[in-house]
Chains A and B, each alone.
Chain A
Amino acid sequence: METFWNTIAAYNAATWPAQLLLTLLGIMLVVLLYRHPTAGVRLAMKLFMALLNFWIAGVYYLIYCEPREYHGMLALFWAVMGTLWIYDLAVGHASLHRTSRRNGFALLLFAMPLIYPLVSLALGRTFPEMTSPVMPCSVAVFTIGVMLAFSERVNIVLAMFLCHWALIGLSKVYLFGIPEDYLLACSVVPALYLFFREYIDQHRSQVTKPSTRVLNTLLLVLCLLIGAFFTVTLLHQFDLYSETI
């Protein structure tokens, strides 16, 4: 746990100007995508998303998390996600065509990378040993927000990667005592439901088995089960805190 926080402190202390720049760039691109969703802005956003993923893979994991075990594996995981954005760009996938739906939830997710450090401060941490806007979980939440707000056709592979990351992220609550990561877990469950439901709606014209209604119900049940699992974990976490106190 000490290694974990030391690596985060080293990363934040050395890269805060770059993180600030990336955060401002992200805000600017989100605003531009809402107001002027031109082909150039979409291209810029995809490149920015690829850059963010490669940043997490290269700068965060390979350089600053080197003392941690399996940092290479996690770097590879993020590099694959970065490659998915590049692939998305290369094949012209309609992944950032504004849909103007679910803006409220998406805006909340966009705000999450900024809420993460505030939660850290509220939990009594101080800079640089705290979560920051350009860290894996913040980037994951931001990516979900981008996909929810602007995706015409959801990239299911990327959505599955983020779902997997949320599950891993949940473990950090126990292993490293970062309750902030519940924010990611809580965002993923409704996002996952919305991604799948949108996918089902898009393919409504194709006659498949089981029917759309059955599929939607199954999806709802699955998401409720995952949500219940997260809730139980959260309550268990509260028990752990009360035992410590």
Chain B
Amino acid sequence: MKTQRELHDTLDFIATYASYLLGSGVHTSRVFRNSQRLGASQGIDIQLSSSLKNIILTARDTEGGEALTRVVGIPALPISFERNSDLSALSWDAVDEKLSLDEIRQRFDRLIDKPRMDPIFVLLTVGLANASFCGLFGGDLTASAIVFTATLVGFAAKQRMQAHGLNHYLIVIAAAFIASLCASAALRFDCTAQIALATSPLFLVPGVPLINGVIDIVEGHVLVGVSRLINALLLIVCIAIGLGATLLMVKDSLL
């Protein structure tokens, strides 16, 4: 049987754990499974309910029957598949190695403190990835080169605006506008300019929320799934506004 203190500590830790998973781009059912597995390793039954911004957890001592509930906010963290994988593995380790809560917490802290990707490295690789998209969609070498530098400009602007804490939707509109404006330079050349223009804001497409939204709906978490899809749809509308503004300004017949 758990003391009140132990139940509090375990629930607080699992609440932090679940919020980190959801903030890092994990779909809902995986978060539920991992958190429940972690709770089971400590002899506690965990039940969860999630929305887009918050998560509600109830922990019940399986022996004593005492229950506690927490509501925690989901932090806006960068998407990290490595962190998702590490945290999922931690829940399995807790079961397999019968870890104590202190040991789990120490491992959790070590995983969270792992070095982040360097922003300059991310900038360059996103540029290369977007240029490759242009190539995949049939763009020629000139168009791909222009998309590469246009993405560098758009993504650097996005990073700076995020650092200054601007509204997320405004950031996406501005970044899409800047990237497509730079890519519109392709119109002056004898190249596949339309493909360059269309692929320049692709780095802004919210792929993870779209995939997670679909997975959530399929797995029965319809409310949170629809919320994620609406959120992703709004971001896509923002991209369209940014791209549309460029098209209206540089070549009105294109829109």
Contact = CB atoms under 8 A, between A and B. Distances in A.
Central interface residue in B120, B150, B159, B187, by most chain A CB within 10 Å? B120
A199 B119 CA distance: 10
A18 interface: no
Interface stretch (A54-62, A73-81, A234-242): A73-81
A69 B118 contact: no
A218 interface: yes
Interface string A157-171: 101110110011001
B117 A73 contact: no
Contact of B160 (A72, A157, A207): A157
Interface string A67-98: 00110111011001000000000010000000
A209 B153 contact: no
Interface stretch (B5-13, B97-105, B176-184): B176-184
Contacts of A209: 115-118, 121
> Interface extent on B, as a size class?
20 to 34
A202 B229 CA distance: 39
B121 A164 contact: no
A123 interface: no
Contact of B118 (A161, A167, A208, A222): A208
B156 A167 contact: no
Nearest to B183: A164
B162 to A, nearest CB: 12
A62 B123 CA distance: 32
Contact of A168 (B152, B185, B249): B185
Give the interface SS of chain A, mostly helix, strand, loop or mixed. Answer: helix
Contacts of A171: 188-189
B78 to A, nearest CB: 12
Given A73-B184, A208-B117, A209-B116, A163 B152 contact: yes
Interface string B114-142: 01111111011000000000000000000
B160 A156 contact: yes
Contacts of A203: 118
B118 A73 contact: no
Contacts of A196: 120
Contacts of A72: 249-250
Interface residues of A, number: 32
Contacts of A156: 123, 156, 159-160
A70 B160 contact: no
A200 interface: yes
Contacts of B250: 70, 72-73, 76
Which residue of A70, A74, A157, A200 has the most chain B CB atoms within 10 A of its CB atom? A157
Contact of B182 (A164, A199, A200, A219): A164
Interface string B3-30: 0000000000000000000000000000
B146 interface: yes
Contact of A167 (B116, B149, B160): B149
Nearest to A166: B149
A210 B118 contact: yes
Interface of A: 69-70, 72-74, 76-77, 80, 91, 156-157, 159-161, 163-164, 167-168, 171, 175, 196, 199-200, 203, 207-210, 215, 218-219, 222
Q: Lowest 6 A-B CB distances belong to which pairs? A: A73-B250, A164-B149, A208-B118, A160-B153, A207-B115, A160-B152
23 contacts: A69-B188, A70-B250, A72-B249, A73-B184, A76-B181, A77-B185, A156-B160, A157-B156, A157-B160, A160-B152, A160-B157, A161-B153, A163-B153, A167-B145, A168-B185, A168-B188, A171-B188, A199-B120, A200-B120, A208-B118, A210-B121, A215-B118, A218-B121
Given A73-B250, A163-B149, A199-B120, 9 more contacts: A73-B181, A73-B184, A157-B160, A160-B153, A161-B182, A167-B149, A208-B119, A209-B115, A215-B121
